[in-house]
Amino acid sequence: MEEAGQRLRRARERLNLKFRDVEQASHLIAERRGNPEFGILISRLSDIENQGTLPSLYRLYSLCCIYRLDVSEVLGWYGIPLEAMAADAGTIQLEKTHAIHFSADGSAEAMLPISLDPGIDLRRTFFVSELVQRWGKLPLALLGGVDVKKFRYGFVGTEDWGMYPAIPPGSLLVVDEGKRRIQAAGWRSLSERPVYFLEHRDGYYCRWCSLKDGVMSLISDPASEAPVLNFAFPGEIEVIGQVVGVAMSLDPEKRRRIRS
């Protein structure tokens, strides 16, 4: 397998650049950025290419600029898979409810069933794995014509029981920033009542909401027995958006482990 330094050397050679050319170009970037760390001396460039020396973030940026390389791809050469950040982050359980700031661009992919048994009856509950005929990777941006950049994502902390059992701790939330206006009525049951993702100086909340006389009340699921929280609006709390999708674990044993 070709080493990262060797790939960088090939990128330089394809552009017919000498060590001196790269050094001079990097100093131009360092001058433009006002930071000498972006500069790359010839001896350092030789070590990066031939000795496997890791470039600093600043020097890696300069090399990507000079060679016209995608920095995320080059990080992959060094064993840092940016596309796996969300998956790796998902293995770390955090107690507090929080926003997720990983970007979802057109290069993101998911392993999905791309060919299903044509005899599926969508009116019935079924085990998807038994009906998948072929799996494959598809860009997230192409899923159902949904623009994934339109949404933000939140995670209900493992100690946030405010919306349990409607939305248990450990749930992944899809948040539509275009739906920030609190809906005062129009639902027939609690299951239809809009849920909102909100930011406060002390953290984030996932709750039902009501707004009256400049006071926003954050309402928990009655079964959770969590208190109603009241904040001045808009001074003390901000509505990030409405929760339009939830991914949760249905494993009761896992839920018990979280609560314990």
64, 80, 96 - which closes a domain? 80
Question: Is there a domain that residue 110 lies in?
Answer: no
CATH classification at residue 229: 2.10.109.10
Instruction: Give burial (CB, 10 Å; 0-12/13-18/19+) of 87.
Output: exposed
Residue with tokens 């349990």: 164
State the pLDDT at residue 92. 84
Task: Classify residue 132: in a domain, yes or no.
Answer: no
Residue 255 is predicted with a pLDDT of 53
User: Which contacts (CB < 8 Å, 24+ apart) does range 114-118 have?
Assistant: 114/138
**Distance in angstroms (rounded) separating the CA atoms of residues 256 and 141:** 35
In the prediction, which pLDDT does 149 show? 59
Q: Give, as one character, the DSSP assignment of residue 51.
A: T
> In terms of domains, do 166 and 255 share one?
yes
136, part of any domain: no
Q: How far apart are CA 202 and CA 35, in angstroms?
A: 35
Interatomic CA distance for residues 9 and 51, integer angstroms: 12
20-24, 145-149, 161-165, 187-191: range with lowest mean pLDDT: 145-149
Q: Does residue 240 carry a pLDDT above 70?
A: yes
Shared-domain flag, residues 163 and 252: yes
Q: Tokens at residue 13, please?
A: 């050679």
Number of domains in the chain: 2
**Residue 177 in domain:** yes
CA–CA separation, 182 and 208 (whole Å): 9
191, part of any domain = yes
Residue 30 belongs to some domain of the structure: yes
Check residue 102 and report its DSSP letter. -
Q: Which of 67-81, 137-151, 201-215, 242-256 has the lowest mean pLDDT?
A: 137-151
pLDDT at res. 93: 80
Q: Does some domain include residue 107?
A: no
For helices 57-67 and 19-33, what crossing angle results, to 10°? 110
Residue 75: which domain range? 4-80
Give the domain CATH number at 18.
Answer: 1.10.260.40
| Single-letter amino acid, residue 88 | D
* Domain boundary, last residue among 51, 80, 109: 80
| Residue at 220 is within a domain | yes
Among 28, 56, 80, residue at a domain's last position:
80
Give yes or no for a contact between 65 and 29, defined as CB atoms under 8 angstroms apart: yes
Question: Cβ-count burial of 184 within 10 angstroms (0-12 exposed, 13-18 middle, 19+ buried)?
Answer: exposed
* The pLDDT value given to residue 147: 55
Judge whether residue 163 has pLDDT over 70: yes
pLDDT in tens, 165-194: 999 988 888 889 899 999 988 889 888 999
Contact status, residue 194 vs residue 187, Cβ threshold 8 Å = yes
- 244 and 174 Cβ atoms separated by less than 8 Å: yes
